[in-house]
Amino acid sequence: MLLLPTSALSEGNNVTRRDGFLLMWDSISRPAYERRENYDDINEDERGYLEINYARSRKILEQESVFYPDEPLLLKHAVLWLFRTRNIRELPDMQPETLASMISDYPIIEMNRDLNGRVFKEDLLTMINTLDGMLTKEVHEVSFYGEDFHGRGTAFGETFDMNEITAAHRSFPQDTLVKVTNVENGKSVVVRINDRGPYVDGRDMDLSKASFLKIAPHGQGVLQATFERLGNVEMVSSCEQKQRIYQQRITKDVRFYRGVPHSFTISDPLVLQSNKPFVVQSILYPDGQNLRTQNFVNPKEKYQFSPDIVGRYSFFIGDTLGHLREMRMDVSSCVLPI
């Protein structure tokens, strides 16, 4: 059992609720999207507006009308939010009344700690790193599904293809990339979550047939594996397994929530959404094709694009006043690690 030193509580600065949550959110590389119901005390131009309100809509945060972003973060909220952002259980099972049980399973703090105490940045970072370390060492039972489900719809509306590198998990968000490592032979595969399940006691993931065969023989059926959650497919390269760097600013006042990455992977979905209306005027493909779109996108809408050839793409994007910016994106093919 790893216990936090008492000194971590006696030094440093209090973390605000806004800063504390954003520390947790940024470390999981998960995208946030605009939602219609927002906290009353966070303005659109404030830091964390999108992420905090998205987390509210996903029930990671409290459902009250106010968030109190600049109030000190209390330990009971920090631990609960941390467990929820890591999906250690299904969401209905992660409530304030089950906090003691979750701390018992993942002892990132001492059981006798005062949960009403304030949190310091050093304390929070230690909790984040400790929990993430615990989760990557856990061993899970993994099975696979193939012919019987091939061609059927997944829980997220996709068509299941047993020949794609995907997986089902009960709580990981859609499009999360997870590195699954067979503990018996050390072989790994990076899968994308596109379905819910399995619903068999004791099992924690169903791999597609193609994913399973990357790390174990077909006849094995079930294996023991560790999971390393890498982040969302939009924000992390499944090949290089590192965060992408985005071009976010269109003009001084118009900016993407994420934007156009400098590097991307073929067939991955690129989703663009901004704080104000923007225009995708054209896209120059690597082969010289110039796709003129003049696509106007409002803040509540998303523009989606999936590159289908490798090379450099140039996006010509502007605001409604005619200002224009070129954003370049280098797209490569991907061979998932074995």
What is the Cα–Cα distance from 64 to 213, expressed in whole angstroms? Answer: 46
Q: Which position has the higher pLDDT, 294 or 90?
A: 90
Taking the domain 140-232, which CATH number applies?
2.40.40.10
CATH superfamily of 246-332: Immunoglobulins (2.60.40.10)
For residue 39, give both structure tokens: 């906290």
* pLDDT tens, position by position, 9-56: 334 578 999 999 999 999 999 989 888 889 999 998 899 999 999 999
- State residue 335's pLDDT score: 56
Q: Where are the domains of the chain?
A: 7-135, 140-232, 246-332
CA 191, chain centre distance (Å): 14
* pLDDT tens, position by position, 114-139: 999 999 999 999 999 999 999 999 99
Q: For residues 247 and 234, is the Cβ–Cβ distance under 8 A?
A: no
For residue 91, give both structure tokens: 């969401």
* pLDDT tens, position by position, 230-287: 999 888 877 767 778 899 999 989 999 889 999 888 877 899 999 999 999 999 999 9
For residue 41, give both structure tokens: 């005390």
Report long-range pairs for 128-134 (Cβ below 8 Å, ≥24 apart).
Answer: 128/23, 128/24, 128/27, 128/82, 130/2, 130/4, 131/82, 131/83, 131/86, 131/88, 131/106, 132/27, 132/86, 134/106, 134/108
* pLDDT tens, position by position, 55-75: 999 999 999 999 999 999 999
Give the dihedral sign, CA 2/87/257/259: positive
For residue 148, give both structure tokens: 């019987």
